[in-house]
Amino acid sequence: MSPVSHLPARALAPRRHDEILRRLGAQGSVSVAELAGFFEVSRETIRRDLKLLSDQGRLGIVHGGAARFEPSEPAMSLRSQENAGGKAAIGRAAAGLVRDGMVVFLDSGTTTLAIAHAITDLRDLTICTASLKIALHLCHVPGMRVHMLGGEVDPSEEAASGIDTLDAMARFRVDIAFLGGGALSPDGEVTDFTRAGAEQRGRMIGLAGKAYFVLDRSKFGKLTPLRIPNFERAAGVIVDADPEPALVEALSQKGPELIVAA
């Protein structure tokens, strides 16, 4: 029977959505049965709610309920192992572009961490980064000033991100920036996993005197969903192996110089 007659007014859809999102924030996950009981509606209704919120990208649906959305990228500890040699070569090549006294921005990521290890010979650098590990490493190197950008910490990157980070970034005058990326697409463009990441990197291209992307060979020809704004204004792309000729050609059309690290 329909639960109309003497029951208190049934919760409106937006009210359910608010409550669902509130619970998600509080508990990390919600179950369909639990919510159906709470709102006194059928499971189908809850599922439709979840489907809707999922389409908006506000949560991820799992069997039996929903969970906070987390873009799944392999854990940091795993990625740092992959292609360590290539990353080190990129690190050395990148370090060669840096001069004493510069203000250097280092993005989060395992390749940029390799750069952090490669620039310890330089003097009087000001480092600007959102990566916890990079900050932790470089702050112990004499003659370096490290500025940590604040923000909400993304566990998969071990770095701050979000509005506060963008905000903090804008305060610096950066001589040279090294940026990571999710992939080097076949048409010669660097793309990213998340909207926020793409935005942050695109912003930095504009802020830095010179901006280089660093991508190891495992990122070649992959596809991730988001284009990086301003990409054509980057100074270069540093890689650790020759990409496909078509990719090289496409990249040279766009503008950024291709640097292959030995």
CA distance 212 to 95: 11
Enter the DSSP assignment of 12.
Answer: P
Least separation, in Å, of the C-beta of 34 and DNA?
Answer: 9
CA distance 80 to 74: 10
Residue 207 interacting with a second copy (CB under 8 A): no
Residue 121 interacting with a second copy (CB under 8 A): no
Between vectors from CA 231 to CA 248 and to CA 217, what angle results, nearest 5°? 45
Residue 28 binding target from DNA, a second copy, none, CB below 5 to 8 Å by type: a second copy
Residue 29 binding target from a second copy, DNA, none, CB below 5 to 8 Å by type: a second copy
Collapse the DSSP code of 19 into the 3-class scheme (helix H, G, I; strand E, B; otherwise coil) and give the result.
Answer: helix
Which residues are at the interface with DNA (CB under 7 A)? 1-5, 7, 10, 12-13, 16, 31-33, 40-45, 47-49, 51, 61-65
CA-closest candidate to residue 83, choices 234, 190, 220? 220
CB nearer a second copy, residue 111 or residue 185? 111
Least separation, in Å, of the C-beta of 247 and a second copy?
Answer: 28
Residue 61 binding target from a second copy, DNA, none, CB below 5 to 8 Å by type: DNA
Inter-residue contact 114 to 87 (CB < 8 Å): yes
The token pair that represents 4 in the structure block: 């109309």
Collapse the DSSP code of 86 into the 3-class scheme (helix H, G, I; strand E, B; otherwise coil) and give the result.
Answer: helix
CA distance 140 to 20: 45
Residue 6 binding target from a second copy, DNA, none, CB below 5 to 8 Å by type: none
CB nearer DNA, residue 16 or residue 79? 16
Beta bridge partners of 257: 236
Binding site for a second copy (CB under 8 A): 1-5, 7, 9-10, 12-15, 18, 25-31, 33-34, 36-37, 40-43, 56-58, 62-65, 67, 69-70, 72, 74-75, 77-78, 101, 123-124, 132-133, 135-136, 139-140, 142-143, 145-155, 158, 160, 164-165, 168
